[in-house]
């Protein structure tokens, strides 16, 4: 097994001075598009864009930059909305959805005054492709065969040792490998955590969405925790944001729910980062969501996809790809607006918080039978 090696460090990135090798151009068109959009972003003054190379991965003689985008003022205390994709290399559609939003945002920033005003008063950050080596190799895991969503130092409560889906340390030859217990976090996971600590932790109001695919027949918006079936500490805010989505877009397609409603997992990056945020911002409001695209419906409508690893996680027919790329733009726009105008979900009075917490316990946690969230 060939391992990733890391070259260089974080810093400003000029896409004009980076060339992809021919194998990467053929096997990873998402990275090529990312470089094109990075060049475009730096040419739009109103976007206040910065492109940063969080790390550079080397694998098989090819070089893969791990890129992050920042839009808006430099003040890290401003409200921030963050988008992430490509954590699992097989789930290419997640990166493609984030790139579709980035493309739309850049065009709107060029001429739309409302978008320009949004970017003048809030911050927007993105890491569209966290696992470029895994995507190039068509692995779920990274180049070291480590599942990045099982790689954080978090242990799930009451998860049986035989439940490999929740993360295992036996061998990288099997799926959901967490990495060795005494090993540091993988470069990609560590770069993401450092980026989030720098760009999100200083903000008193923040939302993020990490786009995945491969679970169920409907699109799900999951909030933490993956590590426990106890109720989420930010449950009132999650319920309030669900109501905001339901009222603003009553015909939306999303099932909003805690991830633990379906399964538990060790090493979840967003559990780890959410707890880290609470430790330094106990009075702040940060909700990290995972958008889990319902890929089973694509397989049901085109069963031939079931015989391909990529087909299980991604739409293949062109009209379904286009539909998926446009379907979630309004959701990202709503979350960006909700960071700028957070009062409906983050400015809750104590009585309202209690009412919404009771609603959430009834809706997702068996009517309050589960452990209540810690304050």
Distance in angstroms (rounded) separating the CA atoms of residues 64 and 66: 7
pLDDT tens-digit readout, 169-198 = 999 999 999 999 999 999 999 999 999 999
Omega before residue 79 within 30° of 0, cis: no
- Spell 125-152 as b/e; 16+ CB within 10 A means b: bbbbbbbbbbbbbebbbbbbbbbbbbbb
Number of neighbouring beta carbons within 10 Å of residue 334: 17
Number of neighbouring beta carbons within 10 Å of residue 341: 14
pLDDT tens-digit readout, 248-292 = 999 999 999 999 999 999 999 999 999 999 999 999 999 999 999
- Spell 41-54 as b/e; 16+ CB within 10 A means b: bbebebbbbbbbbb
Residue 339 has pLDDT above 50, yes or no: yes
Residue 373 has pLDDT above 60, yes or no: no
What is the DSSP-derived secondary structure letter of residue 131?
-
Q: Identify whether the C-beta of residue 122 lies closer than 8 Å to the C-beta of residue 336.
A: yes
Residue 369 has pLDDT above 90, yes or no: no
Residue 34 has pLDDT above 70, yes or no: yes
DSSP for 151-181, please give it. -SS---TT--TT-GGG-B-S-TTSSSB---T
Q: Identify whether the C-beta of residue 97 lies closer than 8 Å to the C-beta of residue 324.
A: yes
- N-to-C CA span, the chain: 45
Answering whether pTM is above 0.85, one says yes
pLDDT tens-digit readout, 347-368 = 999 999 999 999 999 999 987 5
The four Cα atoms 27, 29, 35, 37 give a dihedral, to 10 degrees, of -170
Distance in angstroms (rounded) separating the CA atoms of residues 52 and 67: 6
Helix 187-199 and helix 269-280, axial crossing angle in degrees, nearest 10: 30
Distance of CA 83 to the CA centre of its chain: 6
Distance in angstroms (rounded) separating the CA atoms of residues 3 and 32: 23
Sign of CA dihedral 293, 295, 300, 304: positive
What is the DSSP-derived secondary structure letter of residue 47?
G
* pLDDT band at residue 375 under the 50/70/90 scheme: very low
């Amino acid at each position: 097994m060939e391992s990733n090696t890391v070259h260089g460090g974080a810093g400003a990135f000029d896409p004009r001075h980076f060339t992809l090798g021919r194998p990467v151009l053929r096997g990873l068109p998402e990275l090529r598009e990312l470089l094109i959009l990075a060049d475009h972003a730096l040419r739009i003054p109103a976007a206040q864009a910065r492109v940063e190379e969080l790390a550079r991965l080397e694998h098989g003689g090819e070089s893969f930059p791990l890129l992050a985008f920042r839009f808006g003022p430099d003040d890290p205390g401003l409200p921030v909305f963050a988008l992430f994709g490509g954590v699992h290399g097989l789930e290419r559609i997640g990166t493609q959805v984030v790139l579709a939003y980035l493309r739309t945002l850049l065009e709107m920033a060029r001429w739309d005054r409302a978008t320009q005003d949004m970017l003048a008063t809030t911050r927007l950050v993105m890491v569209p492709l966290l696992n470029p080596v895994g995507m190039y190799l068509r692995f779920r895991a990274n180049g070291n065969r480590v599942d990045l969503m099982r790689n954080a130092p978090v242990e799930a409560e009451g998860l049986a040792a035989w439940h490999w889906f929740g993360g295992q340390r036996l061998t990288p030859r099997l799926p959901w490998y967490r990495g060795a217990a005494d090993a540091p976090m993988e470069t990609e996971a560590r770069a993401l955590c450092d980026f989030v600590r720098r760009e999100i932790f200083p903000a008193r109001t923040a939302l993020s969405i990490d786009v995945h695919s491969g679970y169920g027949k409907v699109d799900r918006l999951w909030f933490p925790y993956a590590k426990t079936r106890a109720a989420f500490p930010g449950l009132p805010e999650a319920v309030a944001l669900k109501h905001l989505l339901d009222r603003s877009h009553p015909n939306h397609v999303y099932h909003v729910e805690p991830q633990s409603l379906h399964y538990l997992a060790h090493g979840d990056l967003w559990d780890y980062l959410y707890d880290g945020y609470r430790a330094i911002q106990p009075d702040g409001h940060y909700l990290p969501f995972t958008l889990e695209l319902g890929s089973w419906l694509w397989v049901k409508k085109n069963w031939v996809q079931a015989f391909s690893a990529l087909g299980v996680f991604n739409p293949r027919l062109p009209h379904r790809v286009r539909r998926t790329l446009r379907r979630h733009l309004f959701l990202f726009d709503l979350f960006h607006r909700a960071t700028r105008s957070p009062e409906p979900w983050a400015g809750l009075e104590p009585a309202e918080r209690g009412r919404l917490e009771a609603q959430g316990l009834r809706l997702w946690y068996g009517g309050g039978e589960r452990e209540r969230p810690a304050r």
